[in-house]
Structure 1
Amino acid sequence: MAGLVGYRYRADDYYEVGREKIREYARAVQDFHPAHWSEDAAWELGHEGLVAPTTFVSIAAMLANRRLFDTVMTGYDVFVQTDQVFELHKPILTGDRLISDVELSAVRRVAGKDLLTITNTFTDRSGDVVHVMHTTVVGLTGQEVDAGVGDTIDGVVMHGIGTPLWDSVTSDEGEGPAAEPAPGADPRLSPVSRTRDLRTAIRFDDISAGHELTPRTVQLTRGDLVNYAGVSGDANPIHWHDGVAALAGLPDVIAHGMLTMGLGAGFVTDWLGDPGAILRYGVRLSNYTVVEARSAGTVEFTGRVKSVDPETRSAVVVIVAKSAGRKIFGLATADVRLA
């Protein structure tokens, strides 16, 4: 697999960001900031349309990455997400058309397991890079999960959608020319996120290292997981089927890692007051949120400002997420700008 590092392609079709899709996704990650729901609220912050939540591009990435999982990253039975980084160079708004370049950017061998990193580079119609997303997964073979998991999944997954995290489905996407990366700093990176005028609720002059965010507790039910699966396109049945979760070695159904990341991003942007003021969001997953059939799971978020930069009027926020007393984020930080 290491010999395939650098393998890349461009997704054949663009992903068009829809007004109602933004609202659906915001509801799925329980992010009720008005800029995701009301054009008037978004305009007041200087945006020309509804602002997509921080982790929204994972929908487009899942579609674009399907061929990589189906035809290149073969030989594994299960992929487990471990790390995620979002680099936001321009707020994603209603009507944006995103083209994704996909690359298998790194393969590492750690403790006898393969860690594979996929990089999605999203450009808009102007050719500017608006968002870069790095996803790291662990590839597991049949020796590390129940041998019957594949047959069980085949009997429960919905029709008409590939399930790249679990089995191989032949992709009908054709090859497309991938944009060549520029040496050093990529001149295609949009400067908007670092230069736009901000109207954040929190001002830079009012914070310092150690400043604490107001804690937030979120509840997740099986209904929330099923809704997120439908909205995001993540059909992995460990998030809604007890039998498959058990075969995968889990104590019960668990929440999507990307769902908990979306909740964490909303926790930060709600404090900021402007979803377009986040520059980078990185999460290392260390545990999971169990959601039982008859009771809700909970995730408790706390955060504090780790450092500030007066020159750029920016800050680094550390986010802690716990469920049932366990830390589900091993390390999570958000780089933000403030007015």
Structure 2
Amino acid sequence: MTITGSERVQAIEAAIGQTYTTQDYYEVGREKIREFARALHDDNPVHWDEAKSADAGHDKLLAPLTIVVLDGTKAQAQLFDTVVPGDLLKSGVLQVEQRFIFHKPITAGDRLKSDVSMDSYKSVAGAELFTGKTVIRDLDKGVMQESWTTLAGPGETGDGLTAEFISMVDDVMFSPTASHELPLVPAEAAEIPEPGSHAFAYGAIPFDSVSEGQEIPPRTQRFTRGDLVNYVGVAGDPNPIHHSDELAAAAKLDSVVAQGMLTLGTAAGYLSAFVGDPAAFIELSARFSSAVYVPPTEAAVVEYTAKIKTLYPETKRGLITFGASVNGKRVFGKCTALVQFS
């Protein structure tokens, strides 16, 4: 049956605010935390050493801030497949923005459920913007994280990908595992605590040790093809533009590109290394400005920079602005992190 443009919009708008959840929980493994930290080039000892994690106030090994991608991103992809007519994720969409609110730190052994919903949709000049919301809940601890992912697509009347391209994608993506995938089920929206209500600094550095305008020492990080392929396996990202030159060229890209969540997850590790403990983060957000192209036989070099923009003495919190660039070209835009100092 052919669906009209107006029917498509009506179907999408009818789905906004409806919550679905994963049927089974995702149990966070200790070794998975280490694998994920390695994929993000994150050497923070709270991800590797249980004793160091305990010293920072955690009962088990602490997970990196963006570990939500391991299960939440898959649930969000299922949501888009369910509520958006057509194959949205094969239509040429790009991730343009990511935002997190952290309520409680995720540690080894947590049993997580992902509640997903379409948060907003709009069509501008023939293009479409979709924002999906994911709420991560532990079966015992309640809400742990919220995240919002905004995707931009060509829309029904835009220049989508050709049938030949989609066929090529199918031939290089992961082998199908749909028979093992449990459908999402309708759910009630979880009750969300106030951001920062946990108000724990954990192992963060003292508030008196930082100052407004202070620049955080920059970090240079190399990303190779091996890093991209490793992240594909660790995070389960099926998009072949991260490993196939043929697909990247067909998508009119200069080369394969690093995953946005790989570069942002590495940025989060860069910031948490300065702050002292990822669990001290309250919010993190970024817009993706340009792709990080990774050549076949050399590394792409990303420079991360940050500074403390504003301090709030009454709460001992600070707002950090950060960015990343490749050869002087910005990778992120409008990036901020709100943290709780000790």
Secondary structure, counterpart of 1:27 in structure 2 = helix
Corresponding position of 2:172: 156
Shift of 1:208: 1.9
Corresponding position of 1:294: 297
Counterpart code for 2:127: K
Shift of 1:155: 1.4
Conservation of the 8 A alpha-carbon contact between 2:102 and 2:195:
no
Corresponding position of 2:146: 132
Corresponding position of 2:283: 280
**What whole-Å deviation, never above 9, does each CA across 1:33-73 have from its counterpart, x for those lacking one?**
00000100100001011111111111111222232132222
Going from structure 1 to structure 2, the CA distance change for 1:172 and 1:197 (only over 3 Å counts) comes to closer
- 1:146-295 to structure 2, matched below 5 A, reads 146-161=162-177, 173-182=182-191, 186-187=192-193, 191-192=197-198, 194=199, 196-200=200-204, 202-295=205-298
Asked if 1:310 corresponds to 2:324, the answer is no
Asked if 1:31 corresponds to 2:42, the answer is yes
Conservation of the 8 A alpha-carbon contact between 1:14 and 1:98:
yes
Asked if 1:87 corresponds to 2:101, the answer is yes
Shift of 1:110: 2.8
Corresponding position of 2:33: 22
Measured in 2, the distance between the counterparts of 1:190 and 1:123 equals 16
**What whole-Å deviation, never above 9, does each CA across 1:85-122 have from its counterpart, x for those lacking one?**
11110010000011111100100223421110111111
Measured in 1, the distance between the counterparts of 2:235 and 2:123 equals 30
Measured in 2, the distance between the counterparts of 1:8 and 1:171 equals 22
Q: What are the ranges of 5 or more consecutive residues in structure 1 without an aligned counterpart?
A: 163-169
Displaced runs of 4+ in structure 1, greater than 6 A?
none
Q: Normalising by structure 2, report the TM-score.
A: 0.90
Shift of 1:138: 1.0
Conservation of the 8 A alpha-carbon contact between 1:148 and 1:247:
no
Conservation of the 8 A alpha-carbon contact between 2:97 and 2:288:
yes
Conservation of the 8 A alpha-carbon contact between 1:50 and 1:93:
yes
Conservation of the 8 A alpha-carbon contact between 1:67 and 1:171:
no
Conservation of the 8 A alpha-carbon contact between 1:288 and 1:323:
no
Shift of 1:135: 0.6
- Within the candidate set 59, 75, 79, 2:70 is matched to 59
**What whole-Å deviation, never above 9, does each CA across 1:280-307 have from its counterpart, x for those lacking one?**
1101001011000011001100000110
Secondary structure, counterpart of 2:73 in structure 1 = helix
Measured in 2, the distance between the counterparts of 1:251 and 1:144 equals 19
Q: Normalising by structure 1, report the TM-score.
A: 0.91
Conservation of the 8 A alpha-carbon contact between 2:112 and 2:137:
yes
Counterpart code for 1:4: A
Shift of 1:199: 2.8
Conservation of the 8 A alpha-carbon contact between 1:130 and 1:189:
no
Conservation of the 8 A alpha-carbon contact between 2:201 and 2:341:
no
RMSD (Å), alpha carbons: 1.9
Counterpart code for 1:62: T
Query: Is the deviation greater in 67-76 or in 83-92?
Result: 67-76
